Amino acid sequence: MRKAVPSVITKIKARQILDSRGIPTVEVDLFTHKGMFRASVPSGDPSGMYEALELRDGDKGTYLGNSVNRAVKNINERISEALVGMDPILQSQIDQAMIDLDKTEKKGELGANAILAVSIAACKAGAAEKEVPLYKHIADLAGKTNLTLPVPAFTVISGGKHAGNNLAIQDIMILPIGASSFGEALQMGSETYHHLKAVIAEKYGAHGCNVGEDGVTFGSIREGLDLVKEAINRTGYNEKIKIAIDVAATDFCKGEEFLPPNSQYPIVSIEDPFDKEDWEHTKSTARVTLQVVGDDLLMSNPKRIERAILDSTCNALLLKINQIGTVTEAIEVVKLANDVPWGVVISHRSGETEDSFIIKAGAPCRGERLAKYNQLLHIEEELGDHAIYAGEDYRQCL
């Protein structure tokens, strides 16, 4: 009998593609004896000095300075040379090899976009080598045995820097926590989204239903919340659907003025209600029953997460995997949050791709958002009778 050929990384090939905003990002094909595994990385608006660094060329004559040819070259030459021959199952060793090769604190030498693209592709290859689904492989890497389908956070109204309107906060989202399955949650989200479109069109005309980077855009906070509340009422789901808001206060530094009374709206989660450096006021979040999500405050940075835990400045982590740069490090910060215990929200970015590796939110429209939701449908179908939807326990999902 022929001995099975051990699967190792045989080749890595990167290229520049465009994200959902038409801005360049990195895509990688990683080859093993099992086949080819492709990954592409999302991109957001950089939040500051605490996150891993995207490497862009800066040549204003090409893609307005946003091309990623240097990151692609680093993969094709330096990263490829370091990783070819490694076992794709050994995710932490692969990620550490790239970190060691970069030698900078924020991955500025090779580029976090270059490192993450390879890390994700390797993770997919590792799952194939073990002949298990990708989600099962990731659960194994994280030491998890219980698999739970998350409550989706559907962005239904966008504002802030992601939309051309007067809404100061960044997002109004809906959470179908009363659904019995992810499939039903997706249905609730879609139906509410379309009812909201009708509500807005009736009140403001069809021009009120513009689509921003993450979803529909609109006007002031109370108007937006009233419209969403009316849309939920029209679906008949009522108490089964709750509201979340992303204040993104760092962009205007007046977050506390934009938090409506909780009694008027079914708000269960608020993200970044204060400026990212306002550690003093954020301590007040320890006294609230809401889920208070740290995004700009934390930037997926372990040191800032540890400080937030000690100071009780929030009770949930927004994880943007490209802010930290590898699958292994992302798993480590999730464990850090779980140990408190905090909730964890996995975040997409304003510049997304069709890659469904990262799953969180967005309106139930646009292909790069729906790719994530549809993948969760696939996972739920595959799990069958073992599928568990987080529902009311959405804060303890990961």
Which residues, at least 6 apart from 109, have a Cβ–Cβ distance to it below 8 Å?
Answer: 74, 102, 103
Nearest to 167 by CA among 215, 229, 234, 233: 215
> Is residue 389 a contact partner of residue 181, using CB atoms and an 8 Å limit?
yes
> What backbone torsions phi and psi does residue 19 show, to the nearest 5 degrees?
-90, -170
> Is residue 132 a contact partner of residue 189, using CB atoms and an 8 Å limit?
no
Nearest to 322 by CA among 37, 42, 39, 2: 42
Question: Which run of H or of E encompasses 322?
Answer: helix 321-324
Question: Which of the 8 DSSP states describes residue 201?
Answer: H
Which tokens belong to 398?
A: 């990961």
Nearest to 373 by CA among 392, 360, 383: 360
- Residues marked active site are found at 214, 320
Nearest to 129 by CA among 143, 117, 147, 141: 141
